[in-house]
Amino acid sequence: MGAGIAAGLLVFTGVWHATEWMMDGRRRDTWMLVPFGLLYLALGGLIAAGTGGAITQAVALAAVLGGGSLALLMRGRVDLRRWVLRAFIGLDAVIALGLISALLG
């Protein structure tokens, strides 16, 4: 169940990351979200399709932990809407918990 929730949230937040540059203006800080969005989208699709198993989940967990950590470290220095950045950090935490429960369960 944790993998399914994580996959759905990865796809959702991947689309949101990849399209945030259109919603908040085309700046360097919003453009750097696009690669993370595409990575989240691809990993969420692979997990939802059941491709790769635990390896895909571990890679997704590493990507989410890296993205969330980077967002926490750069939250005062990037030109993104504050609520969007907080939402991304919160979603990354929920995705990480889902992936950890799926890997341990």
Residue 58 has pLDDT above 90, yes or no: yes
Say how many C-beta atoms besides its own lie within 10 A of residue 30's C-beta: 21
pTM to 2 decimal places: 0.89
Q: What is the 3-state secondary structure (H, E, C) of the chain?
A: CHHHHHHHHHHHHHHHHHHHHHHCCCCHHHHCHHHHHHHHHHHHHHHHHCCCCHHHHHHHHHHHHHHHHHHHHHCCCCCCCHHHHHHHHHHHHHHHHHHHHHHHC
Residue 42 is predicted with a pLDDT of 96
Residue 5 has pLDDT above 80, yes or no: yes
Query: What average pLDDT is seen over the chain?
Result: 89
